[in-house]
Structure 1
Amino acid sequence: MADQASKDAAAQQRIVSHMQKDHHDSIVRYLEHYSKVSAWTAQSGVLTAVDLNGMTLTASGKTHRIPFDPPLKSYSEARERVVSIDQDCLRGLGRSDITINEFIWPTGRYGVEFAVILGIFAAYSQRWWFAPGSIVERSLGVGLAKFSYRIQPWLFGGLLVVHAAELAYFVPARLRKHSVNPRTGLFWLWCAAQAIMGIGCSKRFDALVEKKRVAKGKQQH
């Protein structure tokens, strides 16, 4: 009896350690779906214990219990059960089974595009730079300065509106869908890239999702 209790305790610890190390995104989803806590709060979630009847988690100082229904017969069933529970969470939250946990810096063509758009934002952020007698007029000529002075409010304002709209769509359609939590630096890196690049960032994100989907498919075969 003591030997079985020791084996069970070791199995419990292995499950807790494995989930914390390799599947924290699943723990976050458990809390979001079953305990109805916000994504921000759920990011602090910790799996503290598991037994045949369920899992005990904590988040922001509160304890949450997620039962196994039906209870496990042995801990050998735990892996299949936690995967099944996570699948329920994905469906309930409207999430993809592909979690994005990395940021891809713009390189090559995307790097050039990033630099150009950032340059336009910077260059046209101040209208007075193009006013009569300004450094732009003295350096690049009256024609360019007059033209830039005239279009600056429309160009800069238009870029802000378009990129803000794209960002508003990007957050739920891509970041939230692929379990990128707003409490992480990763979330804000993608937001910053999207705010600057717009659709170019969305294409990079989609390419990363597809790469992970292909890799996951190979692992399953």
Structure 2
Amino acid sequence: MEPSCRVFLASEAITSPKLLISLISRLTVVGGSTEIPRAKMASEDAVRTRILNHMNKDHVYDSKLYLIHRLSYPKPLLLPSNPAKVQLSDIQTTHLTINIDDVAKEIPFDPPMASLSDSRVRLVEMTKQAEAALGVDRDMVSITPVYLPPRGIGEWTLLFTMLSCIYLLFIPSTLQPGGLLYSTILKGYPWIADAMYKQVWWGYWVLVSFHVGETLWFCFGVLGKIWEVPGVDIGTAALWTIDVAIHGFYALNKWKRMVRRQVKKNGKKDH
């Protein structure tokens, strides 16, 4: 616009209220266009602050999990006793930034998020993927595995019965003439001893097949997963292994009962 035209319009605006109002409204629209991005930025900042506060208060476990899964940090980082200071310091639609002992580490989102409002779904998804890949569980991280000895008449009776069965199956000669059981408990009942002796072969293989299989699964599928996190002392692990070898499925259920009790004792937090 020529300078002379600007002067003319300015002078006309002074003498023409309608033109002055029109110019002011145009300036308001032009100036107001910057308010939309500012409002959007303020909204994203509020969402970001809320996410950071929530994660750093209740979900440090998740931040540690991302470091282990995506950046190959050692698994014991998950332990509550680990001295490393971990904090989620920033989150963008393309990545999140986690500080570990004041060293910033970036973890990209693949694919990037459309907006920060997608953060909750994405972070929960990342946590599930990491837990599946690492074989860890939020509930197990802070528990201390303990052994549950036999309690009550029922469990002691079951233990005696199982030990007796093992004795019979692994030392079947006790059911033959001159054997311990043949000469004591079954004295005068040779037909019972003979009938039991004839069943030893299938009882032996049933016990070996099931209990040995359950024991191997317990050692590698259960103890193997928690050996580092949360960790289990060798004495407790040995007692549970012996218990599973003797009781089989019953001992595995008792282990689950112990885990539920320890989890309840420590409390549980979810997203």
- What's the TM-score, normalizing by structure 2? 0.47
Counterpart position of 1:212: 262
Distance 1:170 1:34, change over 3 A: same
CA RMSD in angstroms, aligned pairs only: 4.2
- What's the TM-score, normalizing by structure 1? 0.56
| Distance in structure 1 (CA, Å) of the matches to 2:83 and 2:269 | 29
The question of 1:143 aligning with 2:184 is answered no
Q: 1:163: Cα distance to partner?
A: 0.4
Counterpart position of 1:9: none
Q: Deviations over 1:120-173 (max 9, x none)?
A: 112332122222343433331211220122112221232121101122333344
Distance 1:114 1:191, change over 3 A: same
Distance 1:212 1:181, change over 3 A: closer
For the Cα contact (< 8 Å) 2:146–2:258, is it kept in 1?
no
The question of 1:130 aligning with 2:175 is answered yes
The question of 1:165 aligning with 2:246 is answered no
Counterpart position of 2:238: 188
| Distance in structure 2 (CA, Å) of the matches to 1:181 and 1:127 | 40
For the Cα contact (< 8 Å) 1:180–1:187, is it kept in 2?
no
The question of 1:156 aligning with 2:201 is answered no
Amino acid at match of 1:34: S
Q: 1:114: Cα distance to partner?
A: 1.9
**Bigger CA radius of gyration:** 2
The question of 1:103 aligning with 2:147 is answered yes
Amino acid at match of 2:214: E
| Distance in structure 1 (CA, Å) of the matches to 2:254 and 2:168 | 25
Distance 1:208 1:49, change over 3 A: closer
Listed as ranges, the gaps of 5+ residues in structure 2 are 1-63, 88-98, 107-126
Distance 1:182 1:50, change over 3 A: closer
The question of 1:34 aligning with 2:84 is answered no
Amino acid at match of 2:139: I
Counterpart position of 1:94: 135
Q: How does 1:56-67 map to 2 (within 5 A)?
A: none
| Distance in structure 1 (CA, Å) of the matches to 2:233 and 2:268 | 31
For the Cα contact (< 8 Å) 1:137–1:144, is it kept in 2?
no
Distance 1:50 1:217, change over 3 A: closer
Amino acid at match of 2:190: V
Identity of aligned residues (%): 18
Listed as ranges, the gaps of 5+ residues in structure 1 are 1-25, 56-66, 71-85
Q: How many pairs were matched up?
A: 165
The question of 1:69 aligning with 2:70 is answered no
For the Cα contact (< 8 Å) 1:127–1:149, is it kept in 2?
yes
For the Cα contact (< 8 Å) 1:182–1:188, is it kept in 2?
no
Distance 1:191 1:48, change over 3 A: same
